[in-house]
Structure 1
């Protein structure tokens, strides 16, 4: 894995900061932003997944009824019961699940990884700018907040069902592309 070099950020003259306290505060907030994190939750327990989906549906239906009849005690009781059932279903789902967390890399590290894994001739002809087969495990390991190794990642990509391996790759590439900015009018 390539490590990014630390650069020293320029420090504006104190007089400039004193005249623009707003920018100083904004700059500090910008420097303290955390990179995006994505979560991939794996649950092999179909019963737990189904129970959670049903409980979510029941809460939505109960919420709709309670909203339509705020003075109806039966509707309010039904909503409380459905919410309690949802909490239990979520706890069972969480217990049966394996959560994986991935954090976006800094731009320099990401670009270095892409450059270190150029596409094969065939991949380049297909429009790829990197070699997914070699980059995938490296990027997964570099982005993992759970300590997943390149070897683990390569094994999972090779042995999981195609849709699941694709979900893992999509999660890791997706977090690198996550955009939390709004370019709206000021």
Structure 2
């Protein structure tokens, strides 16, 4: 689904006059991109264990190096452990499949929800949409990696319950991703 691009309205002259920095702030706000979440899949348990072990060794070596800054052996051990961790992480990254999902614009997201109304039974259970029909459509629409609706449905049907839920939760979660700090200033 593609959303049509709208022309941004011109800010009121009074607002710009009151705050000369508003134009720059407004440009930053208009240039923001929608949130992106990543789901990483890795079936290589040995690579996962290697990263965890290397991370532990690196943390221990860092503690020793930090507590003895003049100890050249401790510094060298930390550097070696850091290289081992980087190598293990590279191997894990090579064995992993990252899937990226971007939040849809609000109009598109609302239209998707509206197009997938709940069944009577789902509505009685408190659902606002039909998860069975919405799930593959939302996954495909939010995917930055080209997942099709057919692929999404296959993954939802064939993967374990936990993995299918992680896929769906990522596609839903990015729609609710918040990147603001309210009340701080």
Which deviates further from its counterpart, 132-141 or 115-124? Answer: 115-124
TM-score normalized with structure 1 length: 0.92
Cα shift at 1:13: 5.7
Q: How does 1:25-44 map to 2 (within 5 A)?
A: 25-44=24-43
TM-score normalized with structure 2 length: 0.93
Counterpart for residue 110 of structure 2: 111
Question: Which ranges in structure 2 are unaligned for 5 or more consecutive residues?
Answer: none
Question: Which digits, 9 at most, give the CA deviation of each residue in 1:15-67, with x for residues without a partner?
Answer: 86466330000000000011111111111111111111111121122212222
Cα shift at 1:123: 1.8
Counterpart for residue 182 of structure 2: 183
Q: How does 1:23-102 map to 2 (within 5 A)?
A: 23-102=22-101
Q: Distance in 1 between matches of 2:15 and 2:48?
A: 57
Report the 3-state secondary structure (helix = DSSP H, G, I; strand = E; otherwise coil) of the residue aligned with 2:37: strand
CA RMSD of aligned residues (A): 1.6
Cα shift at 1:75: 1.6
Runs (4+) off by over 4 Å: 13-16
Give the number of aligned pairs: 185
Q: Distance in 2 between matches of 1:185 and 1:78?
A: 42
Q: Distance in 2 between matches of 1:123 and 1:16?
A: 47
Which deviates further from its counterpart, 3-12 or 173-182? Answer: 3-12
Counterpart for residue 154 of structure 2: 155
Question: Which ranges in structure 1 are unaligned for 5 or more consecutive residues?
Answer: none
Q: Distance in 1 between matches of 2:132 and 2:26?
A: 39
In 1, are the aligned partners of 2:15 and 2:22 still within 8 Å (CA)? no
In 1, are the aligned partners of 2:139 and 2:149 still within 8 Å (CA)? yes
Counterpart for residue 172 of structure 2: 173
Q: Distance in 1 between matches of 2:86 and 2:38?
A: 20
Report the 3-state secondary structure (helix = DSSP H, G, I; strand = E; otherwise coil) of the residue aligned with 1:21: coil
